[in-house]
Structure 1
């Protein structure tokens, strides 16, 4: 078993990490960290459990530690649910201490030597780990993308062999993406908020890195343009995206690509049977009906039509956050980096 911990274990994404790792067949969850006010308490006493899954009693007695290098230096791997302001320096320090970091934070996503990975899309980008290890430490950082980026790029993966010239996307993002305290009730009820700080830039820049080419020493960005408009809507979980493509393919060709798509590998515990599924009903996908497909790890695509236009939807705190990071870690283990 590989000994792991979660940084920021009491927040929205941290709780998802704990839920996914509590009975994981490969990872032994033994360390949970949080703020000073939670440190020293048992996890069951420190956390206000808000997920729709039952509290995992097997980790309830773990004593929460401070979020620092000393708390995790004896682990093989940590999962980071930290805000970017804390993650920037701490994740670097942890990796330099010889511990692998799988991060959901945005701090290092665009670093030249840090892989920004969706396992089904760009597993070869893990080659950047070797460049990080050239510094002499066994530790490294691997990041997963922004939650909306993951949904969109996953939906593009089955059709990426066609020539894409530009991507335009409008998002309808769930409130859980802002954390438990992120959006005030009076702001989101009966409303749509047409701005999410830094979200549009993340989608534009991260997509080009993920869909770029690794030449053995660097990532060469994808050649197409990306334009995003991001919006918060009163949905609890599940980000919905309307995507317009400049692509050299017909609607029927794209639908057949989706129908026939299979992930390039199998056998990872968190991997769903279908990473991407095409829904042919004219009014799908919908967050309430489709977000939990594949235990929250499947991205649903629908309304592929002339234009070329389609709708993509995925669970933002599972496929778009904690689940993505756990799947990255499983890929890392399968590729013998740990």
Structure 2
């Protein structure tokens, strides 16, 4: 078993990590970190469990540690659910100390030698781990993308062979993406907020790195542009995307590409049966009905029309956050980087 820890185990994404790692067949959850005021206490006593699944009682007796390198230096791998401003330093220190870091934070996503990975799309980018080692880092940092970037890029992957140069996307993003206290009730109830700080910039840059080519020691960005408009809507979980792509191919041909798409690997515990699933109903996908497909790890696609236009949806705290990091870690383990 691989001993793992979670940096920032009490927030929305941290709790998803706990849920997904409790009883994991490959990873043994040994360390949970949180703020100084929670350190030294039982996890069950300090966490305000807000997920719609039962609390994993076997984790409740773990003593919470402060968020320091000393707390995790005996782990083989840590999962980071820290805010970006806190994550940068602690993740670098952990990697320097020989610990593998799978991060959900944005701090290192665009670093030239850090892989920004969606396993179904760019598993070869894990080769940058070797470059980190050559540059003197005993451990490594691997990141997963922004939640909406993951939904968009996975939906684009089956279309890669058609070629495209322009992607436009409008997002309808769930409030859980802002954390438990991220959006005040009076701000979001009966409302749509047409701004999410930094989100549109991430969507413009991250897909090009993910779908780019690893040429030796650097990634050459993919040759397309992304124009995004991001909106916060009063949905608890599940980000919905309306996507336009400049592909001029028959609709039936594009639909078949979605239907026949299969991941380039198998056998990872968190991997869904279908990473991308095409839905035929004219009014799908919908967050409440489709966000939990594949245990929250499937991206649903539907409403394919001339243009080329379609709708995509995924669970933002599972496929778009904790589940993405866990799947990355499973691929890292399978490729023998641990």
TM-score, scaled to structure 2 = 0.99
* Aligned residue number for residue 269 of structure 1: 269
Distance 2:323 2:26 in 1: 14
Q: In 2, are the aligned partners of 1:164 and 1:248 still within 8 Å (CA)?
A: no
* Aligned residue number for residue 94 of structure 2: 94
Shift of 1:250: 2.1
* Aligned residue number for residue 227 of structure 1: 227
Distance 2:223 2:247 in 1: 13
May I ask how many residue pairs the two structures share in their alignment? 338
Correspondence list, 1:12-51, <5 A: 12-51=12-51
Cα deviation digits, residues 244-283 of structure 1 (max 9, x gap): 0012422111100011111110000000000000001000
* Aligned residue number for residue 192 of structure 1: 192
Shift of 1:142: 0.1
Q: In 1, are the aligned partners of 2:248 and 2:308 still within 8 Å (CA)?
A: no
Structure 1 unaligned segments of length 5 or more: list them.
Answer: none
Structure 2 unaligned segments of length 5 or more: list them.
Answer: none
Distance 2:163 2:154 in 1: 16
Q: In 2, are the aligned partners of 1:296 and 1:318 still within 8 Å (CA)?
A: yes
* Aligned residue number for residue 104 of structure 2: 104
* Aligned residue number for residue 240 of structure 2: 240
- The alignment status of 1:62 with 2:62, answered yes or no, reads yes
Moved over 2 A (4+): 135-138
* Aligned residue number for residue 318 of structure 2: 318
Distance 1:244 1:330 in 2: 32
Q: In 2, are the aligned partners of 1:143 and 1:325 still within 8 Å (CA)?
A: yes
Shift of 1:115: 0.1
* Aligned residue number for residue 279 of structure 1: 279
Shift of 1:200: 0.2
* SS of residue matched to 1:310: strand
Shift of 1:236: 0.2
RMSD (Å) for aligned C-alpha atoms: 0.6
* Aligned residue number for residue 138 of structure 1: 138
Q: In 2, are the aligned partners of 1:163 and 1:248 still within 8 Å (CA)?
A: no
Distance 1:31 1:116 in 2: 25
Distance 1:94 1:291 in 2: 33
